């Protein structure tokens, strides 16, 4: 197994989904770190592996640390001309770091290629990945 750190740059905003009266937030750990669930990463990695046409079994053994390292900001998601919901977010061009353990048989470059494919076409965002939020590339 290989431990690696990868920086990803968001191409579209990545939005928090935890509803609060004032604004929506990201999931947080007990220490306050932004967390992305392992199941979210598994779905994203599986998509990238299918698009690449290999490593479908290997990505199921990949573990990404739930803490996301990056600066959180605010984003207004408009749903009509005058109404919006405010979210915690990683904005377009923000770079965050993720730590991962990848299984034997997969190189760091293979992992980055899977992430890049998944990020460009699917992305990862607790709120609204189907609406195009959370698209990213590897930097």
Q: With 80 as the cut, is the pLDDT of residue 11 above it?
A: yes
Sequence spans of domains, the chain: 2-138
Q: What is the DSSP string of the chain?
A: -EEEEEEEEESS-EE--B--SS-BB--B-TTS-EE--HHHHHHHHHHHHHHHTS-HHHHHH-EE-SEEBS--EEEEEESSSS-EEEEEEEPTT-EEEEEEEE-TT--HHHHHHHHHHHHHHT---TBTGGGTTT-EEE-
For domain 2-138, give the fold: Alpha-Beta Plaits (3.30.70)
Confidence of residue 129 (pLDDT cuts 50, 70, 90): confident
Q: With 90 as the cut, is the pLDDT of residue 128 above it?
A: no
Q: Give the tens place of pLDDT for each residue, 58-114.
A: 999 999 999 999 999 999 999 899 999 999 999 999 999 999 999 999 999 999 999
pTM: 0.93
């Amino acid at each position: 197994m290989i431990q690696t750190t990868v920086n990803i740059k968001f191409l579209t905003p990545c939005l928090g989904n935890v509803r609060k009266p004032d604004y929506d937030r990201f999931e947080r750990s007990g220490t306050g770190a932004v967390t992305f669930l392992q199941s979210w990463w598994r779905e994203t990695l599986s998509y990238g592996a299918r698009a690449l046409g290999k490593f479908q079994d290997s990505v199921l053994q990949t573990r990404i640390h739930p803490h996301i390292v990056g600066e959180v900001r605010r984003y207004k998601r408009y749903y009509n001309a005058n109404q919006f919901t405010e979210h915690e977010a990683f904005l377009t061009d923000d770079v965050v770091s993720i730590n991962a353990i990848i299984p034997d048989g997969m190189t760091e470059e293979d992992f980055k290629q899977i992430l890049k494919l998944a990020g460009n076409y699917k992305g990862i965002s607790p709120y609204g990945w189907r609406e195009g939020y959370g698209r990213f590339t590897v930097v």
